[in-house]
Structure 1
Amino acid sequence: MRKPLSIAFIVRDPLPPARADLLTLFGSEMPRYGITTELVGQAGGLDAAPWPAGGMHLVGSLRSRFAALLSPLWDLRGLLRASRRIRPDCIQVRDKIASGLLGRLAAAVLRVPFFYWMSFPIVEGFAVRRDEFTGVKWLAHALRAAASRFVVYRLVLPGARHIFVQSEAMADWLAAKGFARSRMTAVPMGVDERVFGRAAVTPSTDPRLDGRRVVLYLGRIARARRSDFLLDVAEGLKAEAPDALLVIAGDAASNDEMDWMRAEIARRGIEHHVLLTGWLPQQEALGYAVRAEIGLSPIPRGVLFDVSSPTKLVEYLALGIPSVANDIPDQRLVVEESGAGLCVPMETASFVAAIRRLLDDRGLADAFAQRGPAYVKAHRTYAILGRIVAETYTTILRRADEAV
Structure 2
Amino acid sequence: MRQSLSIAFIVRDPLPPLRADLLTLFGAEMPRYGVHTELVGQAGGGAAAAWAAGHMHAVGSLQSRLASVLSPWWDLRGLLRARRRRRPDCIQVRDKIASGLLGRIAARLLGVPFIYWMSFPIVEGFDTRRDEIGSRGRGPAWLAHTLRAAASRVVLYRLVLPGARHIFVQSEAMAAWLAAKGFARSRMTAVPMGIDADAFDRSRVEAASDPRLDGRRVILYLGRVARARRSDFLLDVVQDLQQDIPGVLLVIAGDAAAPDDMAWMRAEVSRRSLAHHVLLTGWLPQRAALGYAVRAEVGLSPIPRGALFDVSSPTKLVEYLALGIPSVANDIPDQRLVIDESGAGLCVPMEVQAFAGAVRRLLQEPGLAAALAQRGPAYVRRHRTYAILGRIVAETYTKVLPGLSRP
Q: Which residue pairs with 1:12 in the alignment?
A: 12
> Does residue 291 of structure 2 align to residue 287 of structure 1?
yes
Counterpart-to-counterpart distance in 1, 2:216 and 2:344: 23
Residues 5-404 of structure 1 aligned to structure 2 (within 5 Å): 5-133=5-133, 134-399=138-403
Determine if contact 2:301/2:330 at 8 Å carries over to the other structure. yes
- Alignment length, in residue pairs? 401
Shift of 1:368: 0.6
Determine if contact 2:397/2:404 at 8 Å carries over to the other structure. no
Determine if contact 1:324/1:344 at 8 Å carries over to the other structure. yes
Shift of 1:227: 0.3
Counterpart-to-counterpart distance in 1, 2:399 and 2:316: 31
- Which amino acid is 1:43 matched to? A
- Which amino acid is 1:81 matched to? R
Shift of 1:139: 1.2
Counterpart-to-counterpart distance in 1, 2:187 and 2:94: 16
Which deviations, in whole Å up to 9, do the C-alpha atoms of 1:134-166 show, x marking residues without a partner?
A: 222111111100000000000000000000000
Counterpart-to-counterpart distance in 1, 2:272 and 2:35: 52
Counterpart-to-counterpart distance in 2, 1:392 and 1:8: 17
* Unpaired stretches in structure 1, ≥5 consecutive residues: none
Counterpart-to-counterpart distance in 2, 1:266 and 1:47: 36
In the superposition, the TM-score normalised over structure 1's length comes to 0.98
Percent identity reads: 78
Determine if contact 1:298/1:325 at 8 Å carries over to the other structure. yes
Shift of 1:188: 0.1
Determine if contact 1:113/1:400 at 8 Å carries over to the other structure. no
Counterpart-to-counterpart distance in 1, 2:257 and 2:21: 20
Any idea what SS the aligned residue of 1:242 has?
A: coil
Determine if contact 1:236/1:352 at 8 Å carries over to the other structure. yes
In the superposition, the TM-score normalised over structure 2's length comes to 0.97
Counterpart-to-counterpart distance in 2, 1:3 and 1:364: 49
Determine if contact 2:118/2:167 at 8 Å carries over to the other structure. yes
Shift of 1:331: 0.1
Any idea what SS the aligned residue of 1:279 has?
A: coil
Runs of 4+ that moved beyond 3 A: none
Which deviations, in whole Å up to 9, do the C-alpha atoms of 1:161-185 show, x marking residues without a partner?
A: 0000000000000000000000000
Which deviations, in whole Å up to 9, do the C-alpha atoms of 1:328-386 show, x marking residues without a partner?
A: 00000000000000000000000110001001111110011100000000000000000
Determine if contact 1:16/1:49 at 8 Å carries over to the other structure. yes
Shift of 1:3: 3.6
Shift of 1:400: 8.6
Shift of 1:200: 1.2
Query: Which stretch has the larger CA shift, 151-160 or 136-145?
Result: 136-145
Any idea what SS the aligned residue of 1:306 has?
A: coil
Counterpart-to-counterpart distance in 2, 1:223 and 1:299: 12
* Unpaired stretches in structure 2, ≥5 consecutive residues: none
- Which amino acid is 2:161 matched to? L
